[in-house]
Amino acid sequence: MGILDRFRLDDRVVLVTGASSGLGVGFARAFAEAGADVALAGRRADRLERTAELVRETGRRALPVTADVSDPDQAYALVDTVMAEFGKVDVLVNNAGVASAHPALRETPEQFRQVIDTNLNGCYWVAQGCGRVMRPGSSIINVSSILGVATAGLPQAAYSASKAALIGLTRDLAQQWTGRRGIRVNAVAPGFFASEMTGQYTPGYLERMMPRVLLGRMGEVEELAATLVWMASDAGGYLTGQTVIVDGGYTVS
């Protein structure tokens, strides 16, 4: 097998959550271009169908599934639906997430729980469902954030806590499943990439952050998606239990 062949995902099945918008759309398209069939999960059926069309344009199969992964029953049913259609799940990209920015003294229990239920619990429920059916050689990638390892000038206790917890969850699932079940479990911690979340920032915020990014710019979705393809493919076959930070140098500045 040549070195470039190791990056191919021909005929594998990838499940991407949070695929109705933002980074999830770019991830789905990249995995399809690498040769995979892609199952797409999200809460907005119309947008999921748009992502599915991008996958189909590459010649690969797409399966859009409307689901709220913060509900364990819906998360498990999502995995069952993918298994019924494709017969396997080779790669899970736990990308579903919501953002919040509330001062800690004013954040309500409901606001905090909403973020944790989606960003942390939802990832766990889908990983549980996939872990039960994945075969040796499969891969799980949890999408964390640089806010799991650093701060960025906004009051984001719930979001930061959820993303830091994902890093811990990644390590533990790797030590439980890699040796016993042959499932590699890793996380990626993106910096500033254009998405619906970054579009919600107050005017001027991103411009103030750019001097802390060594590359001096926001990342391109394709740059992050390429990292995930590497992590999921045979090219990343010796990687497990790790968090790969893709932030243009923000966390070392």
The domain ranges of the chain are 4-246
Check residue 152 and give its pLDDT: 85
CATH for 4-246? 3.40.50.720
Q: Is 0.75 surpassed by the pTM of this model? A: yes
Give which of 124, 50, 19, 37 is closest to 82, Cα–Cα: 37
- Per-residue pLDDT for the chain (253 aa), expressed as one digit of tens each? 899 999 999 999 999 999 999 999 999 999 999 999 999 999 999 999 999 999 999 999 999 999 999 999 999 999 999 999 999 999 999 999 998 899 999 999 999 999 999 999 999 999 999 999 999 999 999 999 999 999 988 899 999 999 999 999 999 999 999 999 999 999 999 999 987 767 677 888 889 999 999 999 999 999 999 999 999 999 999 999 999 999 999 999 8
Burial code (b: 16+ CB inside 10 Å, e: under 16) for 27-44 equals: bbbbbbbbbbbbbbbbbe
The number of helix segments (H) and strand segments (E) in the chain equals 8, 7
Task: Count the Cβ atoms, other than its own, within 10 Å of residue 84.
Answer: 9
Supply the pLDDT for residue 176. 98
The residues carrying an active-site annotation are 159
Q: What pLDDT, on a 0 to 100 scale, did the predictor assign at position 216?
A: 95
Is-contact 190 146, C-beta < 8 A?
yes
